[in-house]
Amino acid sequence: MSLFVTTQDIRERCGLTVTDYDTEINRMVGQMLSAIQYEIADVHLGLDAPAGLASVLNLAALEIIAGEFYAQLLRKPGYADKVDLAGLSVQPFVGSDSKDPSGMIVRGWERLRPYRRNDPLVTPPASVSAANGKSEVQE
């Protein structure tokens, strides 16, 4: 099974109604989708994986890529500008984390965590040697 994310899905997730950014979105999907798929353990990408698992993995990939695109979009000059007029302020939503202003990247990786090759929250076991004893875990 391969992961699948469409440009339309990214546009909808980011609240875009125009196709002006389709080239950038396609480039980002091409760059990121294979890297995200590599992070998933092979057992979850096989043909014998549960039917609903493909939807979960595709949703996680969609959230990660859409979050990256949204963060990139907010860094463009003029996109996140604030307009004040007679006490009324208008500005796009910008979260507290400039690397993930929408929170989609974190949500996508959290959704993907149980299916990753290496769980980043699990500390690897320390190696034990008869001559040197237990070694300390390097972080």
Tell me how far CA of residue 28 lies from CA of 65, 66, 68, 69, in angstroms. 7, 9, 9, 7
* 7 vs 138, higher pLDDT: 7
Using a 10 angstrom Cβ sphere, with 0-12 exposed, 13-18 middle and 19 or more buried, the burial of residue 111 is middle
Distance, CA of 14 to CA of 34 (rounded, Å): 21
| Averaged pLDDT score across all residues of the chain | 83
- The percent of residues above 70 in pLDDT, for the chain, comes to 77
128 band by pLDDT with thresholds 50, 70 and 90: low
Q: Look up tokens 């979260």; give the residue.
A: 95
Distance, CA of 79 to CA of 69 (rounded, Å): 13
Rounded mean pLDDT, 112-120: 84
Rounded mean pLDDT, 111-116: 91
Read off the pTM: 0.75
Q: Where are the domains of the chain?
A: 7-118
Q: What is the pLDDT of residues 48-69, one digit of tens each?
A: 778 789 899 999 999 999 999 9
